[in-house]
Every structure is written in C-alpha cells, then in structure tokens.
Amino acid sequence: MNRVLFLVPGLLASGIALANSAVDLPDTVVTASRQAQSLSRTPAATTVFTRSEIERLQPSSVADLLRRVPGASVTTTGGQGSLTSLSLRGTGSTQSLVLVDGQRIGSASAGQPSLEFLNIDQIERIEVIRGPRSAIYGSDAIGGVVQIFTRQGESGLNPRVTAGIGSNNTYRRHVGMSGGNQQTRFDLGASLNETAGFDRTRHEEAGDQDDDGYRNRAFNASLSHNFTDDVEAGVRLLEQSGNTEYDLNGNPEDDFTLSTVATHLQWQVSQLWTTRLEAGHAEDKRSSHYDANAFGPAATYSYNTYRDSASWLNSLRLSEQHSLQTGVDWYQDRLRSTGSYLQTERYNRAAFVQHRFEGEAYQTELGWRHDDNEQFGNANTFNAALTVPITDNQQVVASYGEGFRAPTFNDLYTSFGANPNLRPERSKSYELQWRGQVQAAQLQAAAFRTDIDDLILLDPFFTAQNISRARIHGLELSASTQVAGWDTLLAATWLDPRDRNSGNQLPRRPKRLLSLDVDRQLGVFGIGFSLSANSQRYNDPANEQELSGYGLVEARARWNMTPALRWDLKVGNLLDKDYSLANYNYNGQTYGYREVDINAQLSVSWTPSY
C-alpha cells in the first residue's frame, strides 16, 4: 500500500479519476449506471443509506445495515470480525459485486469480499443495486452491486469525535475533520474499534472455550478540487487493518489489511459531453496464524490480493431524449500466497455502451458489454429495460439482464482440485417492478426470476467443475411512510432459490425475509425500534443440516443534548434470541456458530461546525 501512496499526487495531477461528486445529493445515485442519475429515473431496483440514516439506525457493522435491504440476507460465523457473506436475491456470496469508491474488494483467491472488516465510521453512503449489472460492471454482478462511499468533505470546518462503550468489553473511538469551500473539499478520519467478543463456537474442547476478540484500526482521507466550473479532480483513500480471533485447533487468529485508493478527473467538455478517467488500487491481505497443537506444528498461511484498475467513461447527451454512455475498463489481479498456485496473475479488459431514451410515454435503457479475460477468454452481457408511467406518481418497469462470474484463483490454479478449463457462471434475469406514491406512502413491488448456468461446484474428487444450474424466483415488497407520527420502513421478501439438478434449496439462503424500522423524533429526543426475521435455511447443498428461523428485536434512543453534542444508545437482540446463521463440523459433530446475545452500546458524539 505504501508504494501506492507515492503515486497519488501524480495520478491526481494527470487526472486519473473516479467521479463521485454528486453522491451527496439525496435523490441521486451513481452505481446504477456509473454516472449521476436521478433515483426515480433509474430502472434498477435501488436502496440507498445516507450518513444521516446510518447515524439514526446505529448499525454495529456494514452487515448489520445491509440486513435491511429487500432481498438481502447476511451470514456471519459469530459476531463482529467473523467471516461474513452477503446474498442478494438468493444468489451466492461471490455472485454480487462489492465496490469501495469504485474499487473491487473481492479476494482473488476465494472470490468473496471481506465485508466483516469495513468500519461503519468511515462510510458516507451505501448504494445497493438489486439485480444483474454485468452489462456495466462485468464479472460478479449477477445478484447486484453494493457500492460503499467513504467520508467526503463539506463546506466550512467540521470536526467530529465519537467515543462509545458496549457489552463484551466493546470500545469505539473515532476522530475526524472535514471542511472546504466551493473549490476544495477534504475529509480525514481515524477509528479504533475493539471487542473482547464472546465464544463463537459451541463445542467444549479445551482451548476453544475462550472469547474470540476483534480489533479494527481504520483511516480514511479524501480530497477534491474544482479547477474550473467544468474540471474537477480528487482522491479517496481507505485503509483498515487489525486482528480477529476464532476457534479451531491451534488458537488461530487472522491479521488483516483491507485498503483502497481511488483518484479521478472529470471534465465537462461541453453541454453535450462529459468525460472522466478513473484509476485505483485495492489490497485484501490476510495472514492466519496457528500455534503448535496435536495436529501439527505452528504455522502461518497468507492470501494477499493486489488489484490495479483504470477506466475511461464518456457521457454524451445526443438530444433532449437520447443519451449515450460509453466506457473502457482494465484491471489486473495479482495473488501472493503461501499456497501453491499454478498462476498468480491475470488481467481483464472490457468495453461497454449504454443508450437511454426518455420520452413522455415511456423510457428505455439498452446496454451491452464485452469482457476479454486473460484466462477464460471472452464474455458478452446485455441488459434492457422499459419504464412506462401509469400516472404522475406510478410507473411500471420491465427489465432483462445478463450476468456472469469469473472463476476464482482457487477454482483455476490451486495445485489440488484446480480446473483451468472452467467456464464462467452465466445468468439471465427477468424482472417486473411497480413503483408508486399513495398519499404519503412510497411503495415498491418487484417480481423476478434468475436462471444461473454452469455453477461451479466440487465434484466427488474435489475438483472444481461446471456441474450445476440454479433457478431463483422472488417477490420483494417495500413501503416507506409515517404511521401515527412514526417514520416507518418495511421490507418483505419471498424467495425460492433452487438447485435445478437436485431440487434442493440453495444453502444458507432463507425463503422469507422481513425487516421493519420505526423511528420518532420528540423534540431533542429520538427513539426507534427494528425487527428483522428470517425463515429456516439449510447449511449444506444436500439440505441435511437445517438452521432454524429467527426474529430479532432492537431498540435505540438518541438525545441531542446540544446542537453539537449527541448521545446514542442501542440495545441489540432485545429478546435474547439464541440463533445460528451457519454450521461447522468438529470431530465428526455438527454445531451452529453462536451469534451475539442481548447487548448494549452507548456512545457520545461531538460535531461542532465552524
């Protein structure tokens, strides 16, 4: 990471870019089409969390926040810092793309992003696109795209300090400063969060009965500058590192580093043409340490991913009704590991084009992308959407999207079980949405079907093969309104994720999900409650290990003691529910990972403005 920091001034000066200048606009999203776009105009089903919503909901982690997204389920293996996976619309944990300031953060070896290591204090905004977006982003965007924007500067001078304490010897510390004027904005922030944790496993073997702690150090920095009214450049940096413990023979623990740097230059050449350049670097490094035990000597294993990327994007306004977006992408993955891999590098080159028509009677979106991957060759993806207004406050959207997922380094290059002849997983999705405003209520409904071919699974000889197909049917409903003075947000999802070869339910994916948030402001006091519920799921593809459904209740309160001083209190798992989201095997027995029981967090924040 250090060598990348020396490149930042040069990249900034030369205008290599990631343009996010519009993300602070409440009705604007960037992720759906890789350009600023009105939320009501995008045909993609989209969920947005702003910084003010993050502070109101008081989530303990990114996973805690994403549970509220319609169609999203989260699997953890024992509280904060444990392995965390996200399923969007019934797809797998490696079938949704996760970006930080435009940079891919998925591991090249396992393919899964390290969501568990993202610190909520460094985040300004999260946008979640539900449904395929491979025609814009390429690989991994089968279930959707999650983009996380780090903190950005505001006008004036705005220091911030937060300190918190909670159950299981949990401590939260954050300090930051943002500021700027019409030309220049900046933000700097640093956090240190740690917890003694709890015993994540249920077996009673000696050495595995201790608490499993977690420590996270985070730093973010951003700088943007408008050289003229038409030219803007900037840089964003995020680095998070620390240690997480877990139970297994040898008292294992992982040291981790997750970091990204992104730079941008945007130039509005004319009223009809805007161009921007992007470049970035991302690292996902993990070292696992084991003490000597009955199964072997002390050992350390490392899996480090390094990714460089660059893009050139162009937005063309052809007329009042027609617009065109074009772009070229390049990124290269490198893996440095103690494991044995036949190859440790590969590149991907791509070009895409997307046309949008906006008429009075209907709107259309057509997109196509071509990827050229060094390992598996070429992939073409296509998307189309038709939006028809019913009334001034209602519209129907019909869409079709293709997606694919490239095989990981583990699938392709490991010395045991690798298969260099694997084909990418491919998907086709069909969706019908209705969006409407009925009096003060914002309502949405979406019905969809996704077919995935060439799923990569292990055969009986533990070799990766394209041997399965999946079919996912789903229905999402959401409503946002005020009920008796309470701001209410409700999301309900019904899923049927099936392996078409066996007929079994896909593992670790519930068929029914419910999320409810209610909040009310009473002068300087605010109170709120949340309910999240998941139906039963299976831990394994054979559907032999059933995980029971569960419901969790959370309560929160806020006191704005002064305009600059705020107290926050949250009580999680209020009913002290005992539940597991995943199983593990130990000495031939199957157990469920523990999740945190009833817990409380108290914090105070000081945010003066100058």
Express each pLDDT in 267-291 by its tens digit.
999 999 999 999 999 999 999 888 8
Statement: the pTM of the whole predicted model exceeds 0.75 = yes
Confidence of residue 19 (pLDDT cuts 50, 70, 90): very low
Q: Token match 């031939």: residue?
A: 588
Average of per-residue pLDDT across 419-441: 92
Q: Are 455 and 74 in contact (CB under 8 A)?
A: no
Q: Are 169 and 193 in contact (CB under 8 A)?
A: no
Average of per-residue pLDDT across 375-397: 92
Reference 296, options 247, 337, 250; nearest CA is: 250
DSSP-assigned letter for residue 92: -
| CA-based radius of gyration for the chain | 23
Average of per-residue pLDDT across 185-206: 89
Per-residue pLDDT of 47-74, as tens digits, reads 999 999 999 999 999 999 999 999 999 9
Helix or strand (DSSP H, E) at 504: none
Question: Is residue 17 scored above 50 in pLDDT?
Answer: no
Per-residue pLDDT of 157-172, as tens digits, reads 999 999 999 999 999 9
Q: Look at residue 340 in the predicted model and tell me its pLDDT.
A: 85
Look at phi and psi of residue 78 and say left if phi exceeds 0, alpha if psi is from -120 to 50, else beta: left
Supply the CATH number for residue 436's domain. Answer: 2.40.170.20
Q: Look at residue 12 in the predicted model and tell me its pLDDT.
A: 34
Helix or strand (DSSP H, E) at 343: none
Confidence of residue 415 (pLDDT cuts 50, 70, 90): low
Helix or strand (DSSP H, E) at 533: strand 525-534
Q: Look at residue 1 in the predicted model and tell me its pLDDT.
A: 47
Domain of 7, in residue numbers: 2-606
**SS3 label, residue 387:** strand
Q: Are 518 and 487 in contact (CB under 8 A)?
A: yes
* Domain tally, the chain: 1
Q: Are 105 and 238 in contact (CB under 8 A)?
A: no
DSSP-assigned letter for residue 501: T
